Chains A and B, each alone.
Chain A
Amino acid sequence: MAWQWFHRLGSPRWFYEKTTPWLPWLATLSIALIVTAAVWGLAFAPADFKQGNSYRIIYIHVPAAFLALAGYYIMAISGAVGLIWKMKLPFMVMKSAAPIGALLTFVSLVTGSIWGKPTWGTWWEWDARITSMLILFFLYLGMIALQQAFQHRDTADKASAVLALVGMVNIPIIYKSVDWWNTLHQPATIKFTSKSSIDPSMLYPLLTMVIGFYVFYALVLLLNTRVEILRRENRTQWVNDLISTTNKRA
């Protein structure tokens, strides 16, 4: 009985209908959290005594970077579930997660670059974290490219799931390597890693923002997956029924 929910996940229709009532809740919660954290972080949190107000970009940069990495694991684990249990739904989640993750990685790179200009005096620095994020971005782009290259959907799903798993095994190795490489070449001017202690008055809005981003991520992933479900199941009866009832209501 405990595993019943898992078996039900085999049905995209069940998932679609189950998640419909979640959407307004997730939307409300994510907007509330993000707005609260943004106002709190941008207006009420104290300015940094070294960086002034420019540090406030952290409230976008850090949550985006967190989710960029977490998103890869979500994608890879969905792919693995799809490969192991031969279910349709996880592949749809995997496919939906790729562009979101790529976008979040891009956002964290861009905000990092904007943050770097006033702080370090440069738009780009071959810092370990920046470089790892860039490589993560490449991994996402590879996933998307492979996903789109196949004409046959089943093959595309399985092949990109394998690639995601290979990437997942490699991410820790890549991170450690880049970290080691960077300490070897560390320019003396930048001390990004030593600035780890953050004051609670800045930390709490940041944590709120991180949670808000997680909820928002869940919402966007759900929406993308639902679109993917409709697209793939568009020849089934329940999707047609859904479309006709929606049209009637409109």
Chain B
Amino acid sequence: MRDNSPAASLLGGFIASFRRDLLIAARHKAELTNPLVFFLIAVTLIPLGVSPEKTVLALLAPGIVWVMALLATLLSLDGLFRSDYDDGSLEQMLISPQSLYFTVMAKVLVHWLVSGLPVTLLAPVLGLMLSLPIEGYLPLLASLALGTASMSLIGAVGAALTVSLRKGGLLLSLIVMPLYIPVLIFGASAVQTAVQGGAIGMQLAVLGAFLALAIVLAPIAALGALRISTNG
């Protein structure tokens, strides 16, 4: 028996697109691991390019891990709506009676689960390689978890704007990177402050505020952008 109440269909639509996207992501395992491999290689370049000295690396570690995590999330953004746009399912979603807000939300959530979350979980290992002091690990996990979620949401707007362009990848990075700066500032600062022995409640609170704001606004902007991209 079908439940036709509006609330159930909202939630149903959300769950359906969430499961579909998760399934698609699970079947493309290479795309799952690529951001992680990028993250690993890019961080490895730093000791090779700067200095393997432990004191130098420990000083740079919070910033490096954060910047590389940002780039890793950025690189995976291009695929967010791409395949749906190419095979036409995006247009089906746009004309479906389901609330598009929740469809976009489900896509972004899956994107975070397969890119932001693994990057966050890998970050302590890279912190270890960069001899990040012990006080930095929990703040690194917390700030990256909050920050990558905001970045997935903000990035969704950029991905939606550039989805109809065949070579949108570089352009996407170009328009999204300036918007990531506040997240980077507070995220890296949380880790840095913790390493220096300060309290990081404020930074995490601000990152949480960014996330709350992004959850409310970013999907709206993204779905507006998707409508524009598909009509063009």
Interface set of A (CB-CB < 8 Å, partner B):
135, 138-139, 141-143, 145-146, 149-150, 152, 154-155, 158-159, 162-163, 165-167, 169-170, 173-174, 176-178, 180-181, 184
| A142 near B174: Cβ-Cβ < 8 Å | yes
Closest CB in chain B relative to A121 CB, distance in Å: 25
| B157 near A162: Cβ-Cβ < 8 Å | yes
CB < 8 Å neighbour of B181 from A149, A162, A166, A177 = A177
B94 within 8 A of A: no
B191-232 vs A, CB cutoff 8 Å, 1 = contact: the mask equals 000000000000000000010000001000100110011011
Closest CB in chain B relative to A227 CB, distance in Å: 24
**In the complex, which residue of chain A has the Cβ closest to the Cβ of B168?**
A149
| A142 near B175: Cβ-Cβ < 8 Å | yes
Q: A146-B161, A155-B229, A162-B221 given. 11 additional CB < 8 A pairs?
A: A138-B177, A145-B171, A146-B171, A149-B165, A154-B231, A158-B232, A162-B157, A166-B157, A166-B179, A173-B182, A174-B179
Q: How far, in whole Å, are A154 and B231 apart by their CA atoms in the complex? A: 9
**A residues in contact with B175, CB < 8 Å:** 142-143, 145-146, 163
Interface set of B (CB-CB < 8 Å, partner A):
157, 161-162, 164-165, 168, 171, 174-175, 177-179, 181-182, 185-186, 189, 210, 217, 221, 224-225, 228-229, 231-232
- A-B contacts, 23 listed (Cβ < 8 Å): A138-B178, A139-B178, A142-B175, A145-B171, A145-B175, A146-B162, A149-B162, A149-B168, A150-B164, A162-B157, A162-B161, A162-B224, A163-B157, A163-B161, A163-B175, A166-B157, A167-B179, A174-B179, A174-B182, A176-B182, A178-B185, A180-B185, A181-B189
**In the complex, which residue of chain A has the Cβ closest to the Cβ of B221?**
A166
Q: How far, in whole Å, are A164 and B179 apart by their CA atoms in the complex? A: 12
| B174 near A177: Cβ-Cβ < 8 Å | no
Q: Lowest 4 A-B CB distances belong to which pairs?
A: A155-B232, A142-B175, A177-B182, A138-B178
**CB within 8 Å for A150 and B232 given contacts A166-B157, A166-B221, A177-B185:** yes
Q: How far, in whole Å, are A178 and B161 apart by their CA atoms in the complex? A: 26
| A142 near B185: Cβ-Cβ < 8 Å | no
| A174 near B161: Cβ-Cβ < 8 Å | no
**CB within 8 Å for A142 and B224 given contacts A162-B157, A166-B157, A169-B217:** no
**B residues in contact with A152, CB < 8 Å:** 232
**B residues in contact with A139, CB < 8 Å:** 178
**In the complex, which residue of chain B has the Cβ closest to the Cβ of A141?**
B174
**B residues in contact with A162, CB < 8 Å:** 157, 161, 221, 224-225, 228
Most central of A149, A170, A173 by chain B CB within 10 Å:
A149
Q: How far, in whole Å, are A155 and B217 apart by their CA atoms in the complex? A: 21
**B residues in contact with A184, CB < 8 Å:** 189
**A residues in contact with B229, CB < 8 Å:** 155, 159
| B221 near A165: Cβ-Cβ < 8 Å | yes
Closest CB in chain A relative to B148 CB, distance in Å: 17
**In the complex, which residue of chain B has the Cβ closest to the Cβ of A153?**
B232
| A170 near B225: Cβ-Cβ < 8 Å | no
Q: How far, in whole Å, are A158 and B210 apart by their CA atoms in the complex? A: 26
Q: How far, in whole Å, are A173 and B171 apart by their CA atoms in the complex? A: 22
